[in-house]
């Protein structure tokens, strides 16, 4: 995910959290869009940028909701309420919270307590093994870690931006 697209996605996720959206509510909306056959603009790079129309597929819905859930859980892991939520409904299901809270909390603790902006991927893979019984590929874990750190930088900046 490019930096600008990632920033826009995080911003949209933070807004969705604040507005009271839930992972399942957003999943239903994306599935309805997928089933309607709607086409979205997708950027592909072939030595330059090209805009292409594409239909939404089920794997994209699941991955999008997972990334939004990670943003929501990251906000829950901040030590002070950084984002006010306009709903008392939990943002993610108990299952998703159980699966990802430890992952996000490890990163949030490193960010807030130790002033770190990166953790060893192996540490996060061990957390995944402990909770889910399996770990994702290192590149996927690193991408998810970057999403958490980037979300923390948006909702609770610790250092001046250069």
Q: Does 78 reside within a domain?
A: yes
Q: Would you place residue 158 in the very low, low, confident or very high pLDDT band (cuts 50, 70, 90)?
A: confident
Per-residue pLDDT reduced to its tens digit, 12-38: 999 999 999 999 999 898 888 777 776
Q: Using one digit for the tens of pLDDT, what is the confidence trace for 42-56?
A: 555 555 555 555 556
**Domain assignment of residue 67, yes or no:** yes
Reported as a single tens digit per residue, the pLDDT across 96-118 is 999 999 999 999 999 999 888 88
Instruction: Note whether residue 126 is domain-resident.
Output: yes
What pLDDT does 39 receive?
65
State the total domains in the chain: 1
Domain assignment of residue 148, given as a range:
3-20+58-155
Q: What is the 3-state secondary structure (H, E, C) of the chain?
A: CCHHHHHHHHHHHHHHHHCCCCHHHHHHHHHHHHHHCCEEEEEEECCCEEEEEEECCHHHHHHHHHHHHHHHHHHHCCCCCCCCCCCCCCCCCHHHHHHHHHHHHHHHHHHHHCCCCCCCHHHHHHHHHHHHCCCCCHHHHHHHHHHHHHHHHHHCCCCCCC
- Does 25 fall in a domain? no
């Amino acid at each position: 995910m490019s930096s600008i697209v990632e920033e826009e996605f995080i911003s949209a996720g933070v807004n969705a959290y604040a507005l009271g959206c839930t992972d399942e509510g957003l999943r239903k909306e994306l599935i309805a869009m997928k089933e309607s056959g709607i086409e979205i603009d997708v950027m592909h790079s072939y030595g330059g940028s090209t805009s292409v129309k594409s239909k939404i597929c089920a794997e994209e819905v699941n991955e999008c909701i997972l990334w939004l859930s990670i943003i929501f859980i990251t906000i829950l892991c901040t030590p002070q309420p950084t984002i006010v939520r306009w709903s008392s409904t939990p943002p993610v299901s108990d299952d998703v919270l159980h699966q990802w809270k430890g992952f996000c909390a490890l990163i949030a603790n490193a960010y807030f307590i130790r002033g770190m902006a990166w953790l060893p991927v192996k540490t996060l893979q061990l957390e995944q093994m402990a909770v889910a019984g399996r770990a994702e590929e290192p590149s996927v874990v690193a991408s998810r870690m970057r999403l958490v750190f980037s979300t923390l930088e948006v909702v609770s900046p610790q250092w001046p931006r250069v």
